[in-house]
Amino acid sequence: MQDPDPTIDALREEIAALRAEVSTLNQHRFIRVHNSIWRLMGVQVLRGLAMGFGTVAGGTIIVSAIAYSLSQIDFIPIIGDWASEIAREIQSGIKPQ
Domain ranges of the chain: 53-97
Write the DSSP assignment of 40-97 as a string of letters: HHHHHHHHHHHHHHHHHHHHHHHHHHHHHHHHT--SSHHHHHHHHHHHHHHHHTPPP-
* pLDDT value for 94: 64
Helix (H) or strand (E) holding 76: none
pLDDT over 70 at 69, yes or no: yes
**Beta carbons within 10 angstroms of residue 40's beta carbon:** 12
42: left (phi > 0), else alpha (psi -120 to 50), else beta?
Answer: alpha
Provide mean pLDDT across the span 38-49: 91
Query: Binning pLDDT at 50, 70 and 90, where does residue 96 land?
Result: low
Query: Binning pLDDT at 50, 70 and 90, where does residue 37 land?
Result: confident
Single-letter amino acid code for the residue at 90: I
pLDDT over 80 at 93, yes or no: no
